[in-house]
């Protein structure tokens, strides 16, 4: 799997790569603003999925026949491409998972086995449930302590409070890179540096960042980084856990089964080397191959151009929505991107989302798996518009008119 030639950033041309964007919903051209939940897939990825299942379908790492070798080569080529994409030191540091949630649970269980009662784990008030519940389960199992970094009214981390929470008891900081609800971009490099000063490890939830900004795990110096394929234009059911080799070596296996073993007897089992120690059973082979294809597609474009463009879209939408009476933007951090969440006084987010859907506009409504964050803002949920590099200001103009129409109908 090789780097594709760099392409000029053209939204019009990019949109032609995504067949799902060329459909109608209720007689209206689809406007897809639910990229925070999942992204659409380019034709290159769809072709790769079809190629695997129609021609190369076989199990990997075990067969001597040609199809098995082709599937294995494709799967491992994808791993190496992802290693280079993240700038990981070794391919062994790239573990295929079911997604971000699976990766966090793997760390919570396996790294968690190295912790002792009284050890502390820090998360933030803006975390997705997937970066809350696994740590709560760990605390119940190992009698560790979970502490929460507060946020301010703009939806930014209280870094002074973070400094006060850090101590020699802190063993892990698990924090989102970009908030799925607020769009806040957290200063993860600063957080990592401070955590390392007290000997703590850091897990970065990159589910909302890998598709919006360049990620270099060695530059960040994070200990773990997790993301999902389906949010970065790849298949569902596949993701990646990056972990530093020494840490992964020290951690016990998360699951037992085929491929994660070296030798099995009824008396004792010895485990396979990395990365296979954490990849029990037949994996999502097509997903692994096509996640590499998705990143191969995405890497054709300058990440700085993508980041700047998506911030421009978010700023444009937020500025227009801010003119609405009784509408409140939830999340106004100085450093944010790609997401605009809002609530309207006296109107339930679900009702707005339903009316927008009838006008051909896909948004997400509800608590976005961040119920504690909703409690902080004292609201049941928000309407969330989340953008990708294939969205346009013209779509936002249509969205703004549709929001106005929906609010008028509901008043």
C-alpha separations of 349 from 44, 62, 144, 179 in Å? 35, 51, 37, 19
Where b means 16+ CB within 10 Å and e means fewer, 109-123 reads bbbbeebeeebbbbb
- Tell me which of 139, 222, 290, 369 is the catalytic residue: 369
- How far the first Cα of the chain sits from its last, in Å, is 55
66 Cβ partners below 8 Å, 6+ apart?
Answer: none
> 3-state SS of the chain?
CCCCCCCCCCHHHHHCCCHHHHCEECCEECEECECCCCCCCCHHHHHHHHHHHHHHCCCCCCCCCHHHHHHHHHHHHHHHHHHHHHCCCCHHHEEEECCHHHHHHHHHHHHHHHCCCCCEEEEECCCCHHHCHHHHHHHHHHCCEEEEECECCCCCECHHHHHHHCCCCEEEEEEECECCCCCEECCHHHHHHHHHHCCCEEEEECCCCCCCCCCCHHHHCCCEEEEEHHHCCCCCCCEEEEECHHHHHHCCCCCCCCCCEEEECCCCEEECCCCHHHCCCCCCHHHHHHHHHHHHHHCCCCHHHHHHHHHHHHHHHHHHHCCCCCEEEECCCCCECCEEEEEECCECHHHHHHHHHHCCEECEEECCCCHHHHHHHCCCCEEEEECCCCCCHHHHHHHHHHHHHHHHHHC
Residue 241 and residue 103 in contact, taking contact as beta carbons nearer than 8 Å = yes
Number of Cα atoms under 13 Å in the Cβ half of residue 373: 33
Tell me which residue of 31, 38, 28, 37 sits closest to 15, measured CA to CA: 31
- Catalytic site residue 222? no
- Which residues are identified as catalytic? 369
């Amino acid at each position: 799997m090789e780097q594709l030639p760099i392409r000029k950033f053209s939204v019009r041309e990019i949109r032609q790569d995504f067949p799902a964007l060329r459909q109608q919903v209720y007689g209206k051209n689809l406007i897809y603003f639910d990229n925070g939940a999942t992204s659409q897939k380019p034709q290159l990825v769809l072709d790769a999925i079809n190629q695997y299942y129609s021609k190369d379908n076989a199990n990997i790492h075990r067969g001597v026949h040609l199809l098995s070798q082709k599937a294995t080569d494709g799967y491992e080529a994808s791993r190496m491409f992802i290693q280079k994409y993240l700038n990981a030191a070794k391919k062994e540091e790239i573990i295929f998972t079911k997604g971000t949630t699976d990766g966090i649970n793997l760390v919570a269980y396996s790294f968690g086995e190295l912790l002792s009662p009284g050890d502390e784990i820090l998360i933030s008030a803006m975390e997705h449930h997937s970066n809350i519940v696994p740590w709560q389960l760990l605390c119940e199992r190992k009698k560790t302590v979970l502490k929460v970094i507060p946020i301010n009214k703009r939806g930014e981390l209280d870094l002074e409070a973070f400094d006060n929470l850090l101590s020699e008891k802190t063993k892990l900081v698990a924090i989102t890179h970009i908030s799925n609800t607020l769009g806040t971009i957290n200063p993860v490099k600063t957080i990592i540096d401070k955590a390392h000063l007290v000997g703590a490890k850091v897990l970065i939830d990159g589910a909302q960042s890998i598709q919006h900004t360049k990620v270099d795990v060695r530059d960040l110096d994070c200990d773990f980084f997790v993301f999902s394929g389906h949010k970065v234009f790849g298949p569902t059911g596949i993701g990646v856990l990056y972990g530093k080799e020494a840490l992964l070596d020290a951690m016990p296996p998360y699951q037992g089964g085929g491929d994660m073993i070296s030798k099995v007897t009824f008396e004792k089992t010895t485990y396979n080397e990395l990365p296979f120690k954490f990849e029990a059973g037949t994996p999502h082979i097509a997903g692994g191959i096509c996640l590499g294809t998705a990143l191969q597609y995405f890497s054709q474009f300058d990440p700085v151009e993508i980041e700047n463009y998506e911030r421009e879209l978010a700023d444009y939408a937020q500025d227009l929505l801010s003119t609405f009476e009784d509408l409140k933007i939830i999340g106004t951090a100085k450093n944010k991107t790609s997401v605009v969440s809002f609530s309207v006084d006296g109107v339930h987010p679900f009702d707005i989302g339903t009316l927008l859907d009838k006008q051909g506009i896909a948004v997400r409504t509800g608590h976005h798996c961040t119920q504690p964050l909703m409690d902080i803002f004292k609201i049941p949920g928000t309407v969330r518009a989340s953008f990708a590099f294939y969205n346009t200001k013209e779509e936002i103009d249509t969205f703004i008119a549709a929001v106005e129409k929906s609010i008028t109908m509901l008043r």
